[in-house]
Amino acid sequence: MVVAIMGFLPSHTGLPQKSSCRSGICDPMVLKQRIRHKRVGIFGRKQISPTNRLYYGQNDTGALRVFVMSDLHTDYAENMAWVRRLSTVWYRNDILIVAGDVAETYKNFVVTMSELKDRFSGVFYVPGNHDLWCRREGGNYTDSLEKLRALLDVCTELGVETSPRIVDGLGIIPLFSWYHKSFDKEKDVTGIRIPSLEMACKDFHACTWPPELSNGDVALAHHFDMMNEKNNNAVEEVHKTNCQIITFSHFLPRQDLCPEKRMLFYPNLPKIIGSDFLEVRLRFIHGKNGNRSACHVFGHTHFCWDAVLDGMSKLLWLILEKGKGG
């Protein structure tokens, strides 16, 4: 079996790329620091030539192609337009993995996933933090868990997979997750004013949780991890087939998949990006030491990443139109 795993890039990557607010980080001090650094050329990014665009045509190779994307943020009109420009012919025999943060509103989520399902043979999805924001839903949901149930229900209606499946000998396993502060094991940066997580991350205001769950401890991360328990039998079936396995999540399973704090605009970013529960679950699925075909895909941080850690490939793919999203 031949499997080609590819990530999407925007169709006009020759456009200048603007700074984005990662994870809702829009503190004026941080933005001012970004502007100052750009002026002295520290973080200047060379414009990508249109001749370097990634281009994928119709699949005539007979290989199973798996495309991956995350952080579409189609509440931005430009991003939704990018989705709608995807060919309705080229990907009919291909699989798409969507690693969360499709849209903030339920309406845009449904439109986006419908467009993608119309273009691909199969679409797999796990929720991201932006998908569970309730601030623009007009009181339609009691909390973010109720909205999550609505998203999963509409995925079922659309034929979008949110549970493990075997496709032509390839096992694809979605993993639910949420972040927790104790995921961050690196020493904190000191000597400068750093906004609190509550100020920097909109999740603390845009998401609503039951009283027993919060971002203040591991309870929320544990709750999402336990959602994977219902799929244990399906994971066992994947193992029995001895097939290649791709797992995917929105959040990170390891901190070394993010730059060191000294390189970040917001040094406390690692506290809101990952889950230790994820790494434990990955080792259960792929084996303690991994294997040559083990692959995990994640999103969230907006840092494109490709690494092999402890015998497992870990990739981050995202699609950002003109640098928007966060």
Extents of the domains making up the chain: 3-41+55-316
Q: What is the pLDDT along the chain (326 residues), one digit of tens a residue?
A: 445 566 654 433 222 233 334 334 333 333 333 323 322 323 222 333 333 333 467 877 778 899 999 999 999 999 999 999 999 999 999 999 999 999 999 999 999 999 999 999 999 999 999 999 999 999 999 999 999 999 999 999 999 999 999 999 999 999 999 999 999 999 999 999 999 999 999 999 999 999 999 877 899 999 999 999 999 999 999 988 877 899 999 999 999 999 999 999 999 999 999 999 999 999 999 988 877 778 999 999 988 878 887 766 655 544 333 334 44
Rounded to two decimals, the pTM is 0.82
pLDDT given at position 229: 97
How do beta strands 312-316 and 305-309 pair? Answer: antiparallel
> In 186-290, where do the E strands start and end?
244-248
> Given this model, what pLDDT does residue 316 score?
54
| 131 touches 101 (CB < 8 A) | yes
The conformation of residue 141, written as its DSSP 8-state character, comes to -
Q: What span, in angstroms and rounded, lies between the C-alpha atoms of 106 and 219? A: 25
Query: What is the predicted pLDDT for the residue at 282?
Result: 94
Per the document, the length of the chain is 326
Residues near 263 by Cβ (< 8 Å), separated by ≥ 6?
none
Q: What's the pLDDT at 285?
A: 94
Q: Across the beta sheet with 295-298, what order do the strands follow?
A: 165-167, 170-174, 244-248, 295-298, 312-316, 305-309
Tell me the pairing of strands 312-316 and 64-69.
unpaired
The set of residues, in sequence order, having a beta carbon less than 8 Å from that of 323 and lying 6+ positions away, is: 17, 18, 19, 20
> What integer pLDDT is reported at residue 321 of this predicted model?
33
3-state SS class at 176:
coil
Element (H, E) at 281: helix 276-286
pLDDT at 314: 59
Predicted confidence at residue 7, as pLDDT, reads 61
CA distance 31 to 25: 9
> What CATH number is given for 3-41+55-316 in this structure?
3.60.21
